[in-house]
Each structure stands twice: as C-alpha cells, then as structure tokens.
Structure 1
Amino acid sequence: MDLDVARRFAARWQDDWNSHDLDRILAHHHDDVSFSSPMITRLTGDPAGTVHGKAALRAYWAAGLEKIPDLRFEVIDVRAGVDSLVIDHRNQIGGRLSEVLTFRDGLVVTGFGAYGETAAD
C-alpha cells in the first residue's frame, strides 16, 4: 500500500469515527471481517477478544459508542505495509492506541487494536 493512500484512508477513518455514524465506519470493511481488541474482552467479557463478521463488528462498536458517547480519535501517525496500514492515534482522554488493518479488494478484512500504558477508556 502506498503511504499517501494509507494517509488518505486514515483521515477518512478519523472523520468517520468522529461522526459516530456506524454505516460510514463499516463501509470500509468486508462482510467477513475479523477484528480483535482488548476492548472487546472488556466490553463483552469474551476472553477471545475477537468478533467475526460485519454484523458482530457493528454490534460491538454500537455498544462501545453507547458506553463512550464522547469517543473521539486523533490520528498521530500512519504507516503502510504491503496490504496493510497502522494508524497510531489518541482517544478523547489522551489514551494512545494503534490499529493495524489488513485489506483485501480495497476493504478491511482483518484488524486489531493495540493499547499502551495510557488508559484507553
């Protein structure tokens, strides 16, 4: 993936998340997407920390937006891989996070969130 393409995606990603519009956010994802995050475990209690499919991802993110109605992201840095990108960002309370997204046919097919020492919620 070209770094300019990754940066444009990250800018849209930030705008879409900050809109809290799940249709906009999910428009970039395959129907068979798989996403993992420590927040999935915290929110759902499922120790696997992974959701499979767009419907499950929608349900998880809807619950997250309900729990954190002031959620906001600010992109700090973007890195590009062959068919993937990393978005380093900060949330509304200053927590630092990274999201790694892998693409197939121009849509996100897998992703995972990674958290550092700063609280993420």
Structure 2
Amino acid sequence: MISREQALQFADEWVAAWNAHDLDAVLTHYTENFEMSSPFILQMGMSPDGRLKGKVNVRNYWEKALAKYHDLHFDLHEVLSCINTVIIYYTSVNGKKAAEFFVFNEDGKVVQAIGHYN
C-alpha cells in the first residue's frame, strides 16, 4: 500500500531525478523487470508495440531520449494516488502535458509505468 506521503515523496524524487538527468536516481524507484509503455518508445523506434521490459532496455531508451532532449525539464502539477498506484501529472518535453501511471509492488517499487501525453 502506498500512502499519500509516499506518493508525494516519490513524485518529488522522480521529477528531481529527471530534471538532474540522473538516470541512476530515476531507476532506483523501479524493479529490475518493470514494464514501461509510452508512445515515445514507439516514435523512437525502440519497440513495435511501444513497450519495453527491464531496467537495461528502459535505461537504453531513456539515454537516447535524454540525448535527443538535452534540455529536458519536467514541471510537476499534480500527484494522484490510490492503494498501489500513483499518477503524476506534469509538463514534459516540448510543453506537452503528461500523466504517468505507476503500479507499485509490496516493496514500494514500480513494476509498471504507462506514459500518457496530449
């Protein structure tokens, strides 16, 4: 179960790590075999179905994304939480609005993440 305080702390740490371009800090929040889905994965040709599994594969994708968007900066707007899920609403690259949906395991690590963009 993810408390409201844990959800807010996760969101703050997640955004700060991205804004610092610190992938090691970002990845500390995820399990080794987590799954990531995003239209950006598809657009960048990383996977034909827009999904990647595992820290190694997602790290490779995120490294390419940071190289492409070297001025990447996220602005946090809202954090929504439930029993074992969190949604972070933020401004992403190129001013796109984004909502990232995270599913947590019993150890408080992300097992699935799904990015949504306008």
TM over 0.5: yes
* TM, length-normalised to structure 1: 0.91
Identity %: 34
CA distance in 1, matches of 2:51, 2:93: 23
> 2:21 maps to what in 1?
20
> 2:8 maps to what in 1?
7
Deviation for aligned residue 1:57: 0.6
> 1:111 maps to what in 2?
113
Segment of structure 1 superposing worse, 88-97 or 64-73:
88-97
Letter aligned with residue 71 of structure 1: L
Aligned length: 116
Structure-to-structure mapping, 1:61-76, within 5 angstroms = 61-76=62-77
Alignment deviations for residues 79-117 of structure 1 (CA, whole Å, 9 cap, x no partner):
00111100000025321000000111111110100011x
Deviation for aligned residue 1:9: 0.8
> 1:33 maps to what in 2?
34
Alignment deviations for residues 55-90 of structure 1 (CA, whole Å, 9 cap, x no partner):
001000000000110011011000001111000000
> 2:80 maps to what in 1?
79
CA distance in 2, matches of 1:56, 1:48: 14
Deviation for aligned residue 1:4: 1.9
* TM, length-normalised to structure 2: 0.93
Contact 2:69 2:93 in 1 (8 A): no
Gaps of 5+ in 1: 117-121
CA distance in 2, matches of 1:14, 1:46: 25
Letter aligned with residue 57 of structure 2: A
Segment of structure 1 superposing worse, 94-103 or 1-10:
1-10
Gaps of 5+ in 2: none
Letter aligned with residue 102 of structure 2: L
> 2:50 maps to what in 1?
49
